Amino acid sequence: MTKRLYDKFLFNFLANDRDNAAAIMEAGSGYVVPGIVSDKFESIEAAAEKVAELKSVTELVSIGLGGGGDTTNWKKVLDIAVASIPGHINQPFETSPYAKGYLEGKNIPKQLVNALVQPTGEVGTIKMANSGKFIRVEDFIEIAVALGIESIKMMPIKGTQHLEELIYLTKIAAKRGIRGIEPAGGIDASNIKDIIAGVKDIDIELFMPHIFGSTIDKETEATIPSKVREIISEVKGAL
């Protein structure tokens, strides 16, 4: 796993090419996982080529579902992973164990496969991304542990709107040995400090915010290095 800020924090930003990936990794002092989203590519081959390009400057690339967490893209993400061995992939909770087993069955080097759930507006519950069913966090975590899920993604947290839910999920996950928590949705320089401050004392191995819209140049679709630098500076101010 890429080096982590204070041995815990990584930050996922999109990169549109090799140079952009290198620039945002430098701006983020190396605590950055560049990524792509599957819905931006017409073919598995084109996406795999982009992953290979990014991996020329980093050992770890994240493949996102795209479309604001569109769970129907799960198989496309998995096919891209088989073709490119990125290191990290996004999946809805319902397909995460299958994806993990499928990759292992292909004898692909270990990939970190997350499991997407959604906040509910109520601390102590989460919503399944596909079915929309609500479930107690404790019950969900027990299921996740039994299925071998290593990292849980909560999206959309809408900045700090669902922060208390995120903190609660992180606490329960850490207690049961889940390796990582990955929040996404509405995260930017104005709220990252509050998010990090909320979880900094929780003993979890990995906490990786996914930060997209607020940092992307709308014309070039490249992540803006100065925005990355600003976010990392805010994080350091919270620790």
Domain with 147 in it: what CATH number?
Answer: 3.20.20.70
Exposure string for 166-196, b = 16+ CB within 10 A, e = fewer: bbbbbbbbbeeebbbbbbbbbbbbebbbebb
Whether the ω angle into residue 156 lies within 30 degrees of 0, i.e. cis, is yes
Residue 233 domain flag? yes
Residue 2 domain flag? no
Query: What pLDDT score does 1 carry?
Result: 62
- Distance separating alpha carbons of residues 227 and 239, to the nearest angstrom: 19
165: part of which helix (H) or strand (E)?
helix 163-175
Residue 6 domain flag? no
- Distance separating alpha carbons of residues 136 and 15, to the nearest angstrom: 35
Please give the residue range of the domain that contains residue 131. 11-238
Query: What pLDDT score does 20 carry?
Result: 98
Residue 1 domain flag? no
User: Residue 111's closest CA among 94, 143, 87, 132?
Assistant: 87
Count of structural domains within the chain: 1
Q: What is the pLDDT of residues 27-47, one digit of tens each?
A: 999 999 999 999 999 999 999
Low-confidence ranges of the chain (pLDDT < 70): 1
Instruction: Supply the pTM of this predicted model.
Output: 0.96
Query: How crowded is the C-beta side of 155, counted as CA atoms within 13 Å?
Result: 31
Residue 98 domain flag? yes
Task: Tell me the two tokens of residue 98.
Answer: 């299958």
Residue 53 domain flag? yes
Query: Maximum CA pair distance of the chain?
Result: 44
Query: What pLDDT score does 2 carry?
Result: 74
